[in-house]
C-alpha cells in the first residue's frame, strides 16, 4: 500500500477540520501563541488514550469522563504554559469552565468539547485570560489554521510537530489523515509529556478507532523516551468526521489501510518529539531482534533507551558498549549473554556478548552522525521491537534545572 505524504500537512489538511489560535498571556515570552481550538463543526467520533500516571491532570480526568459518556465531539480546546495538574477541586472547576467557555463560543454543547492543557504543574489557570483566548480562537477559526495550532500547543519544544498523509481505498477513494503534537521533555514511559491530535475524514465507529489508536499508540508514543519520566497530562486523540463518506469496519479490507495511515502519522509525530528532545544532539533508534515475544524485545529496548549511562555516552561520543550490555542484562528478560550480538550503524561492536576491539578512528566515525542506530540481536527467537530516544546533554540539565525561571 502506498501512503502519500502531504507536504507541510497538519490536522487541518483533513477536510472538515478547522483551527483557531491566539495569544492570551499564559507564556512569559512575548506574544507567542498559547491557546487554540480544533473544530470539526459537523462532529466526529473520537477515541482517546491517556497517561497512566496516578496524578492525572484535571483536563485528562474530565476528558476520560466525557468520552466514557459519549463518543462524538466537535471541538478540543488546548492551552500551553500551564498544565492544570495537581490543582485540586479548583483545577477541575477550571477545566469544566474551559469546556463550557469553548462550547458557548462555538454555539455547541459542552458535552461535545474536550480540553487539554500542558505546561507547568501546580499552577491554576488564569480563567479571565483563558476566556479571552477562547473567544479569540473561536473568531479566528480557519481551514488552514493547523500550523498556528501546532505552534500554540508548544512548551519547551523548539519545533512544531505536524504531519498528514493520504491513502487510497480498495474502491479508489481518498482518505486523509493529519495530526499535530507537542512534546520535548518528561518523555516516557507510556506516552510522554505530550499531546497529540489526529483527525481523519474516514467514517468509523468508536470501537474501530479504539482498536486502531491503541495499536498505533503502542508502536509510536509508547515506544519513545527522552528522559524516562512520566507526565500527568499525556493525551492522544483520534477523530473521524466521516467527510470522505468512506466507511471503515473491522472486517473491511480498508481497515488495515486506515490503521497503517494512522500509525504512519503517529510514528512521524513521535520521532519528531524525540528529535526535539530537550537539549538533544543525537536521535537514537534502538531495535532489539531475535526475541521469543515482542513484549520482551520492547522491554529490553526501553531499558537501553532509559539508561542515563548509555545516553550520556552517546552524547560524549564514547563507544562504551558495556553500558548497552549492562542495561540489557538488567532488563529482566531471559536470554543467553553468550549469543548476543550488537551493531551500531550496521557495524558489529559486540559479538557473542564480548565487545570488539575497534580503533578510536572507527569509533569516532560510528558516533559522529546525528542519527545513531543500535541493533541488538538476542538470537533467541523471531520477534523484534523498535524504540526511539535521544542523548542526554548539558543543555537538558540546564533546561530542567531552570524550568520555573
Cβ atoms 75, 113 nearer than 8 A: yes
Neighbours of 58 (CB within 10 A): 28
User: What is the enclosing helix (H) or strand (E) of 290?
Assistant: strand 283-291
Chain centroid to Cα 106, Å, comes to 28
Cβ atoms 215, 257 nearer than 8 A: no
Chain centroid to Cα 399, Å, comes to 20
CA distances from 196 to 54, 159, 190, 355 (A): 20, 14, 14, 40
Q: Where are the alpha helices (DSSP H) in 124-251?
A: 127-139, 146-152, 206-219
Point out the residues that are catalytic: 193
Cell triple for 78: 488546548
Cα gap 193→179, rounded to integer Å: 17
84, 85, 88, 89 alpha-carbon torsion, rounded to 10°: 40
Amino acid at each position: 500500500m502506498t501512503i502519500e505524504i502531504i507536504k507541510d500537512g497538519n490536522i487541518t489538511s483533513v477536510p472538515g477540520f478547522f483551527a483557531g489560535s491566539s495569544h492570551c498571556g499564559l507564556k512569559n515570552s512575548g506574544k507567542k501563541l498559547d491557546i487554540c481550538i480544533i473544530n470539526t463543526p459537523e462532529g466526529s467520533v473520537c477515541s482517546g488514550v491517556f497517561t497512566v500516571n496516578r496524578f492525572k491532570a484535571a483536563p485528562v480526568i474530565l476528558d476520560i469522563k466525557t468520552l466514557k459518556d459519549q463518543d462524538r465531539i466537535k471541538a478540543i480546546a488546548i492551552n500551553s504554559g500551564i498544565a492544570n495538574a495537581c490543582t485540586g477541586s479548583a483545577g477541575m472547576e477550571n477545566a469544566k469552565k474551559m469546556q463550557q467557555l469553548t462550547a458557548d463560543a462555538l454555539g455547541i454543547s459542552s458535552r461535545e468539547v474536550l480540553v487539554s492543557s500542558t505546561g507547568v504543574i501546580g499552577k491554576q489557570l488564569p480563567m479571565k485570560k483563558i476566556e479571552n483566548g477562547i473567544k479569540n480562537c473561536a473568531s479566528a477559526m480557519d481551514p488552514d489554521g493547523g500550523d498556528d495550532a501546532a505552534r500554540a500547543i508548544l512548551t519547551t519544544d523548539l519545533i512544531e510537530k505536524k504531519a498528514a498523509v493520504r491513502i487510497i481505498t480498495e474502491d479508489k477513494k481518498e482518505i486523509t489523515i493529519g495530526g499535530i503534537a507537542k512534546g520535548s521533555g518528561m518523555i516516557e514511559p507510556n506516552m510522554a509529556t505530550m499531546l497529540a491530535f489526529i483527525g481523519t475524514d474516514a467514517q468509523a465507529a468508536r470501537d474501530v478507532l479504539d482498536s486502531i489508536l491503541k495499536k498505533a499508540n503502542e508502536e509510536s508514543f509508547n515506544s519513545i523516551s527522552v528522559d524516562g519520566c512520566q507526565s500527568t497530562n499525556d493525551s492522544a486523540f483520534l477523530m473521524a468526521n466521516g467527510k470522505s463518506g468512506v466507511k471503515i469496519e473491522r472486517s473491511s479490507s480498508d481497515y488495515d489501510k486506515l490503521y497503517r495511515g494512522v500509525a504512519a502519522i503517529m510514528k512521524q509525530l513521535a520521532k519528531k518529539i524525540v528529535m526535539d528532545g530537550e537539549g538533544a544532539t543525537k536521535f537514537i533508534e534502538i531495535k532489539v531482534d531475535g526475541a521469543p515475544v515482542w513484549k520482551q524485545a520492547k522491554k529490553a529496548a526501553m531499558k537501553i533507551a532509559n539508561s542515563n549511562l548509555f545516553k550520556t555516552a552517546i552524547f560524549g561520543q564514547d563507544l562504551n558498549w558495556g553500558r548497552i550490555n549492562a542495561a540489557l542484562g538488567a532488563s529482566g528478560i531471559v536470554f543467553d549473554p553468550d549469543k548476543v550480538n550488537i551493531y551500531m550503524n550496521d557495524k558489529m561492536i559486540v559479538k557473542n556478548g564480548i565487545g570488539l576491539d575497534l580503533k578510536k578512528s572507527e569509533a569516532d566515525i560510528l558516533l559522529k552522525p546525528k542519527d545513531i542506530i543500535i541493533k541488538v540481536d538476542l538470537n533467541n527467537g523471531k520477534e523484534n521491537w523498535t524504540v526511539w530516544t535521544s542523548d542526554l546533554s548539558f543543555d537538558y540539565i540546564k533546561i530542567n534545572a531552570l524550568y520555573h525561571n
